[in-house]
Structure 1
């Protein structure tokens, strides 16, 4: 993988969930020359292709950026590890594989905020375009696309009991939370096929790598966007200790995620004026919203000891783990095909909510954190997160050195409304656990513990035991207000030929796991890029001058 020219039509920075989509789709046209730049390595590590491999690739500096948040008062000044993929496929190569799109209302809300073209009915075709749904094509799903979406290959009795308990507690059964309605309980689907992970590198790049009009460079750390006269003209990156410059005739496209994209913008002189002046970075465009509006799903993990055997019993010694490995090698089935969770619940934290505002990830195992060994007793995990938090954080550079990680202020539970949802969410989790047929198999609540009872105590438990669920978004949000960074066509305000295509453009986080929506953003962005440059109306689009927002 290398670059063979100094000039391309398009330069895509970041080969993650969206970047792989953009590079692959653009290069389908043999007359469009594309360069894809990735800071991480090729996806050769076998753990990147085994579904449960995220236990080995998260927090591994060879595949993970290994970001750490600043001390957060909302969670007792704890600092959380924020894994982000640093490899071909980005975070889609080390995530939990769960395929969740969010709710119709999420996208209609984006449209209502002034982002034309982003309503649910307008984005649904792009979800379907990517998808190769194991269950077949219907009004909500696609078949024949590059992204494999399949049912789980692992079932355990404790998961079935959890589903029955949820139903008996008043939550409806829903076999397809990505269909007409999200609300309900059921088994997750995953981005996998035949026991192997389907990252965007595998889905979109594998067939594109041989194209002569697509160059892919790995282990190449982008340092800044090159800008002349308010126009992006190229990218500077470092590879093997040497700085290189490459140029784009049409556009530079940042797909570096909710942490990387605002960092590169700020390093390039696009961001809050006072911040850039602090680090002696020449100002290109004063955009106060760059790095602001950070949102994430904060999960509260409840662990229950059970009399029913769980995956803990299958993984708690070396001989059992060897048997699990052999099962996978010979049948591509068993615990190594496990996605991050088995059972979903989308429900309301209280009856006054108009639509589901909390999500459960139920796992038939338990551990102190991902990557740690399972507990030495039978147990399951019932994690619950708020789908649409009100709290907002930020990402800001702390140095002009591109290799210094930015400061991530997560600001969890800083809004009182989020605190109440956390309290109510624990109550819903306990309601399910105390319902038959699950209740009969529960010995005790191991985490947080039955000593947490009052609302004040439950909030204290949320602050102590909560963890990120790895869904940072919205730091370069799409919109028209003074804090937005890109317009509805994902073009950066005030800088021509510069577009952002990743989860950072979400004006508000989606109601669920963010990988599928990010892939959709990539698919939709490609159509807009082609329209802007190659359609009969491209000249009209080009004549629409965009100027920096005045503050």
Structure 2
């Protein structure tokens, strides 16, 4: 069917929000014509999407992966010693729900209450949260739903490293909870739930739940992929349609050629934190000074468009684990025999296969103690007093364990690994994004703003120490991979310690160089510290 040139509602952006809006509107009224426009490819029946254990492939920045777009700071950051931050964004129908880590995470109740808007409190929204869920884990909480389209489970398998992590977390004061996503818990560890259907083993994504399911039974939802919305068409101050272009400009000698689609009722912009501001500015909605410099007609002078970008940033630490540990390192580094084995498991019994898990099986949410707060400096304590102190449901950080190295394996020595993630939940730093041309193919000016507020330093440093304390108390721990840790003076008690000699000998039993001395910068940790130290 040829797509119509006029519909009732246009939804610009096929991420989770866009999929839900388009699918729900179309399903609610079969006579309503809805068009969903997405810049990336469709995720339908794509095994590189629906097999949970392959999510890392869609994070590759290799010039081939087209399922993600990578925004890089336009100028080096003085707050990062001249480095440029890289922010990956989904470029596929379903948005992040099609390629992300599949970690089931909810906001805290006070996050919703902070809106101070009628109808938007956590209590108001809980019925909607429950309605979307098909919760497949046992729980003592009444905050989950069981009949919705989005499956949530533990996945097909849980590694022994996850239980090792939970025991070690308990030892440092982060106790086990059967549900840290109950809107209230801010300090506890759990077997982390995943957006995975335990009955099929497949990723549970927004496009499958809300778009494909409607298009299978109705004919009023029109999907246009590989199309980038350039701008909203206004008549006066009323949005009456959009102009879109092919996602890649490979014809017509690079000339921008737009396709116009009209909307009888409304246009919904849902192109993400970084995409939506660019569409607004190209449409004439933004700072009049910027728009006039770019010769764009000003529809509405809104200087805040593109400002106050906020994102939780992640630090990762890679640790060595025992050679007996079950990890996905051989699969990720491309061992053909191991890959053949795991792919075969999936074909035979996907709901039980190792690929039916993201191997991010455990994690925690944490808040600092009074004693820890005293060590976190005045900048963070000011933020704590203003934002966290009277809201005990807000965690400061959350962390998780990956049973394998979430890293480029071409840069890693042989062995088995685990990775600790630490997410800053509520960063104080702010960035911005703005167009530099009306041409939708021109890269924007982007400043992530990461670490430009000193209040962010203390919690990241604190959580790194906390996760390292957990790792060192795990039975499987065999040292830090020092290349993937901060570098301290060798005499410092904070210095990372790499692989122990026995594990090294097991890895390379016939090698003639294990334990060779190469100077003071290189040394084995011949005797690991006791795990309770």
Determine if the TM-score, normalized by the shorter chain, exceeds 0.5: yes
5+ residue gaps, structure 1: 459-551
- Whether the 8 Å CA contact 1:367–1:373 is kept in 2: the answer is no
Q: SS at 1:235's partner residue?
A: strand
Q: Distance in 2 between matches of 1:457 and 1:441?
A: 18
Give the structure 2 partner of residue 42 of structure 1: 42
5+ residue gaps, structure 2: 252-256, 374-383, 495-533
Q: 1:449 Cα shift? A: 4.2
Q: Distance in 1 between matches of 2:118 and 2:267?
A: 23
Q: How does 1:307-326 map to 2 (within 5 A)?
A: 307=322, 308-312=324-328, 314-315=330-331, 316=333, 317-326=335-344
Give the structure 1 partner of residue 509 of structure 2: none
- Whether the 8 Å CA contact 2:359–2:403 is kept in 1: the answer is no
Give the structure 1 partner of residue 345 of structure 2: 327
Match of 1:123 among 122, 125, 148: 125
Q: SS at 1:10's partner residue?
A: strand
- Whether the 8 Å CA contact 2:400–2:422 is kept in 1: the answer is yes
Q: Distance in 2 between matches of 1:94 and 1:301?
A: 19
Q: Distance in 1 between matches of 2:41 and 2:470?
A: 43
Give the structure 1 partner of residue 101 of structure 2: 96
Give the structure 2 partner of residue 510 of structure 1: none
Q: How does 1:16-415 map to 2 (within 5 A)?
A: 16-28=15-27, 29-44=29-44, 45-58=46-59, 59=61, 60-70=64-74, 71-111=76-116, 115-135=117-137, 139-179=142-182, 180-193=184-197, 194-210=200-216, 211-239=218-246, 242-307=257-322, 308-312=324-328, 314-315=330-331, 316=333, 317-332=335-350, 333-339=352-358, 341-351=360-370, 352=373, 354=389, 355=392, 356-369=395-408, 376-415=414-453
Q: 1:126 Cα shift? A: 1.7
- Whether the 8 Å CA contact 1:23–1:36 is kept in 2: the answer is yes
Distance 1:401 1:389, change over 3 A: same
Q: 1:416 Cα shift? A: 0.9
Distance 1:176 1:399, change over 3 A: same
Give the structure 1 partner of residue 519 of structure 2: none
Distance 1:119 1:358, change over 3 A: same
Distance 1:313 1:164, change over 3 A: same
Q: Judge which range, 239-248 or 219-228, deviates more.
A: 239-248
C-alpha RMSD of matched pairs (Å): 2.5
Q: 1:181 Cα shift? A: 2.1
- Whether the 8 Å CA contact 1:312–1:377 is kept in 2: the answer is no
Q: SS at 1:32's partner residue?
A: coil
Q: 1:121 Cα shift? A: 1.0
Distance 1:27 1:367, change over 3 A: closer
Query: Could you give the per-residue CA deviations for residues 67-99 of structure 1, whole angstroms, max 9, x where no partner exists?
Result: 323333333332343222222212211111111
Query: Could you give the per-residue CA deviations for residues 476-521 of structure 1, whole angstroms, max 9, x where no partner exists?
Result: xxxxxxxxxxxxxxxxxxxxxxxxxxxxxxxxxxxxxxxxxxxxxx
Q: Distance in 2 between matches of 1:392 and 1:301?
A: 21
Q: SS at 1:300's partner residue?
A: strand
Distance 1:51 1:313, change over 3 A: closer
Distance 1:65 1:451, change over 3 A: closer
Pairs aligned (count): 450
Q: SS at 1:84's partner residue?
A: strand
Q: Distance in 1 between matches of 2:353 and 2:12?
A: 37
Q: Distance in 2 between matches of 1:159 and 1:457?
A: 27
- Whether the 8 Å CA contact 2:52–2:357 is kept in 1: the answer is yes
Give the structure 2 partner of residue 468 of structure 1: none
- Whether the 8 Å CA contact 1:169–1:432 is kept in 2: the answer is yes
- Whether the 8 Å CA contact 1:312–1:376 is kept in 2: the answer is no
Q: 1:183 Cα shift? A: 2.6
Q: 1:340 Cα shift? A: 6.5
Q: Judge which range, 55-64 or 294-303, deviates more.
A: 55-64
- Whether the 8 Å CA contact 1:291–1:396 is kept in 2: the answer is yes
Larger radius of gyration: 2
